[in-house]
Amino acid sequence: MSSTYIWTVDSMTTFTDTANNIANVVNSVYYRVNDIDSDSGITVGMSDNVQIVYNPDDPFIEYANLTLDTVISWVQGTLGANTVSQIQSNLDAEIQNILNPPVIILPPPWT
Query: First CA to last CA across the chain, in angstroms?
Result: 37
pLDDT digits (tens, 9 = 90+) for 18-69: 888 899 999 999 999 999 999 999 999 999 999 999 888 888 999 999 999 9
pLDDT (0 to 100) of residue 58? 86
Query: Are 51 and 32 within 8 A, CB to CB?
Result: no
What residues have CB less than 8 Å from 15, skipping those under 6 apart? Answer: 25, 27
- pLDDT, tens only, 1-12: 689 999 999 999
To the nearest 10 degrees (0 to 180), the angle between helices 68-79 and 81-99 is 100
Q: What is the pTM of this model?
A: 0.87
**What span, in angstroms and rounded, lies between the C-alpha atoms of 10 and 12?**
7
Q: What is the pLDDT of residues 67-102, one digit of tens each?
A: 999 999 999 999 999 999 999 999 999 999 999 998
